[in-house]
A and B are shown apart, each in its own frame.
Chain A
Amino acid sequence: MLSRTADNLYWIARYLERAETMARLLEVGSRIALLPGSGQGFRNEWDSLLQASGTADGFARKYGDPVQRNIESYLFFDHDNPSSVASCLTRARENARIVRTALTTQVWDALNTAFQELRQLERTPRSQAELARLTDWTMRTAALVRGAIDATLLRNDGWDFLHLGYHLERADNTARLMDVKYYVLLPRADFVGSGVDNYQWTTLLRAMSAHRAFHWAYGGEVTAAKIAHFLILNPQCPRSLISCAQGVTGHLDRLARGYDRSTAAQHQARALLGRLADTEVDEIFDEGMHDFLTRFIGEIAALGATVHESYLSGDAR
């Protein structure tokens, strides 16, 4: 497969996953904003969302104070924000147009239809575009595309590159969402274990569509340790860091078998997975959640760079 084609497929998946994360963030934000007395009021909560999505600086430059309506626009519609849902979906569709030959009609259809619907939404008066509708639409769209990929795409190397994109992006996004919880939503240590703390954890679970799943898996009281285990170390949770690391490793191994050669990416991925598998929740808290997550985000970025060098840059020999 052409390296450029593989690169396009990889980024289609990353953009889609990122769009979905944005929608999840918006949902969390609107939920938190509905509640009285969570810390210092809505302004703080929305601000933390911008921090989480890595878009705070861009937003401040364009709009100034974090007002809910503006944040919704910025995270959903704004093409000046490279991480907005609209930007991500537009670029995913543009990438798909470039590699049409590597996709099935169904996958293209799902992406192209999403793009046409997005253009409709952009023409809809904002007063009629409720946030819940927008976030639901985004998640449904992402699911449709993922479904079309799983149901129709040839299980060749292109499939692996798409899934490498999905898993790497998801690993990064999950880590960032958790980091927000610990670093931004909860700036003062005396909130730990308070009602606010638990409420925010629950919201985080909801954002990952993992609220019920968590209760099925653990039951009983919501504690920081259980949630950290669920979102980091539990391979049953589809968005946990270890699930993502397994996904990356699995697809890299498939590539190595198919191409009959291994690269630095396989070694790096296996090492990362091995370290996660050996980690206990206590160790994470001992290290400090924020430090652990920061290190993990760095490792995922490094793995992404190695995947790029080994397969996507076109410099492979």
Chain B
Amino acid sequence: MTTYFNEMYQDGAVRAPYARLNGWTNAMPAELRQMKQAEAEALFRRIGITFAVYGEGGDPDRLIPFDMFPRVFTAAEWSRLERGIKQRARALNAFLVDVYARGEIVRAGRIPARLVYQNEAYEKAVVGFRPPKGVYSHIVGIDLVRTGPDDFFVLEDNCRTPSGVSYMLENREIMMRMFPDLFRENRIQPVDSYPEILRRTLASVAPLKCDREPTVVILTPGHFNSAYYEHSFLADLMGVELVEGQDLFVEGGFVWMRTTEGPKKVDVIYRRIDDAFLDPLCFRPDSMLGVPGLMDVYRSGGVTICSAPGAGVADDKAVYTYVPDMVRFYLGEEPILQNVPTWLCGRADDLKYVLENLAELVVKEVHGSGGYGMLVGPRSTADQVEAFRHRIEADPENYIAQPTLALSTVPAFVDQGIAPRHVDLRPYCLVGERIELVPGGLTRVALKEGSLVVNSSQGGGVKDTWVLAE
């Protein structure tokens, strides 16, 4: 029987950051809790944050369940996390600049050339191009899990377009509206500066050809996208236009947007569409979401694309295993945050170990996301394990395996009252002229009893995440 680290209760006592929450829950009768829960749901629905899962049918306006029980970090815990996250974001960007330039890390034999240059996410179209300020990934979402008081592990890096930050902001907004007393009693660091910092970050990487206050836009695939709410939410809070591909066109070496007053020049594009759809002339010719000619303007320094095309090569699950080496190689520092031990099924020794211990491991597709196409060994039937074994044997390169982590738990409100549920954490690190991190992030919680999968597409919920002031 695995024991899990409970972030609130340790050895029968309440841990310090949760001290005041103890009294809060004790003083809250069940009826009040249900009332508040209903109120929270109504608020989310009225704001319009809903979440559509592709291909699942059902209610297109589904809500991600919001659990009112907050998750709390002390200032000291956070300060270590912050240093680790920023360090990792710097190393990932150094790696990206390197592999699209001389590839020193490959020459030094620290990472196999095949993993980089034959990676699907390696973008030949930007080889030799250095984006403004040498930043490829401007918003780095780093997924963390915790297994003990001081044991944090990075589960994966998201260097392309990590989503979910709107929940971080809205969860806080709703908690403050529903429980103002909590915020008077606890000294909780605010997160609402995120949109302003994001805008500043994006403006700081404007192309050299831009000689005035840069025009920033968010490029969305459109309102059918499941994250559309987030796109429009961020555009609103930053005070920038939310554009679709059809709103932009290329002329005279610049990108323009179609406005009621005629064309307006665009300097920085925060894109929320994948590389493959950015420019039909450069990538997928059938893309209707992108802007023909965009990549030419990008490479000639007429516009900045955030995150830069090609950034995906750094957040691949196989490349992930080498991030600690990147930290040492580029920064000359020891990594502050640990990786989860990972076996690459593409390596013969690793594959052997994985196949022998399949029932104890978590196996993921290298390019998978969203909790799809993965095996959680200890929670699967023998048949499922065997079926997965065949998939791995057929294409070992496509899989990695990790031990089943004893994910920490935080109390959550469930039907029976309050019970511990497993959580992870995604903070959003912003990289431009400076590297910045707001004190908070998105805590996802597996609301099904015993479940370790926190993805919203698999029954996960979200919590407000607090970082206490000193």
Interface residues of A (CB under 8 A from B): 1-6, 94, 97-98, 100-101, 105, 108-109, 112-113, 116, 157, 161, 255, 259, 261, 311-312, 314-317
Question: Which listed residue (A98, A100, A109, A312) contacts B260, Cβ 8 A?
Answer: A312
B246 within 8 A of A: yes
**B residues 231-261 touching A (CB-CB < 8 Å):** 232-233, 235-236, 241-244, 246-247, 257-261
Chain B residues with CB under 8 A of A101: 232, 235-236, 242
The answer to whether A316 and B258 touch (CB under 8 A), given A2-B243, A98-B223, is: yes
Contact B258 A3 (CB under 8 A): yes
Chain A residues with CB under 8 A of B223: 94, 97-98
CB distance from B311 to the nearest CB of A (A): 26
Contact A317 B241 (CB under 8 A): no
The answer to whether A4 and B262 touch (CB under 8 A), given A98-B223, A101-B232, is: no
Complex alpha-carbon distance, A4 and B262, angstroms: 12
Contact B260 A157 (CB under 8 A): yes
Question: Which listed residue (A2, A112, A161) contacts B46, Cβ 8 A?
Answer: A112
Chain A residues with CB under 8 A of B241: 2, 5
Most B Cβ at <10 Å: residue of A2, A5, A315: A2
Contact B48 A2 (CB under 8 A): no
CB distance from B260 to the nearest CB of A (A): 4
A-B contact pairs, 26 of them (CB 8 A): A1-B259, A1-B260, A1-B261, A2-B258, A2-B259, A2-B260, A3-B259, A3-B260, A4-B244, A4-B258, A6-B260, A97-B223, A100-B48, A101-B236, A109-B46, A161-B260, A255-B260, A259-B261, A311-B260, A312-B260, A314-B247, A314-B258, A315-B258, A316-B260, A316-B261, A317-B263
Complex alpha-carbon distance, A1 and B258, angstroms: 8
Most B Cβ at <10 Å: residue of A97, A101, A312: A101
Complex alpha-carbon distance, A116 and B232, angstroms: 21
Complex alpha-carbon distance, A201 and B243, angstroms: 48
Mask: chain B, 259-273; 1 = CB below 8 Å from A; 0 = not: 111110000000000
Contact B247 A100 (CB under 8 A): no
CB distance from A246 to the nearest CB of B (A): 22
Interface residues of B (CB under 8 A from A): 45-48, 223, 228-229, 232-233, 235-236, 241-244, 246-247, 257-263
10 nearest CB pairs, A to B: A314-B258, A101-B236, A311-B260, A98-B223, A100-B232, A3-B258, A6-B260, A316-B262, A259-B261, A1-B260
Complex alpha-carbon distance, A200 and B261, angstroms: 46
Question: Which listed residue (A4, A97, A259, A311) contacts B48, Cβ 8 A?
Answer: A97
Contact A4 B46 (CB under 8 A): no
The answer to whether A112 and B261 touch (CB under 8 A), given A3-B247, A314-B247, is: no
CB distance from B42 to the nearest CB of A (A): 10
CB distance from A261 to the nearest CB of B (A): 8
Question: Which listed residue (B45, B233, B257) contacts A2, Cβ 8 A?
Answer: B257
Complex alpha-carbon distance, A316 and B242, angstroms: 19
Complex alpha-carbon distance, A171 and B148, angstroms: 69
Complex alpha-carbon distance, A212 and B243, angstroms: 47
The residue of chain A having its C-beta at the shortest distance from the C-beta of B264 within the complex is A2
Chain B residues with CB under 8 A of A97: 48, 223, 228
CB distance from A84 to the nearest CB of B (A): 20
Complex alpha-carbon distance, A109 and B262, angstroms: 31
CB distance from A46 to the nearest CB of B (A): 35
The residue of chain B having its C-beta at the shortest distance from the C-beta of A315 within the complex is B258
Given A3-B247, A3-B258, 14 other A-B residues pairs in contact with their CB atoms under 8 A:
A1-B259, A2-B241, A2-B257, A2-B258, A6-B260, A97-B228, A100-B232, A101-B236, A101-B242, A109-B46, A157-B260, A311-B260, A314-B246, A315-B258
The answer to whether A108 and B259 touch (CB under 8 A), given A97-B223, A101-B235, A101-B236, is: no
Complex alpha-carbon distance, A108 and B48, angstroms: 9
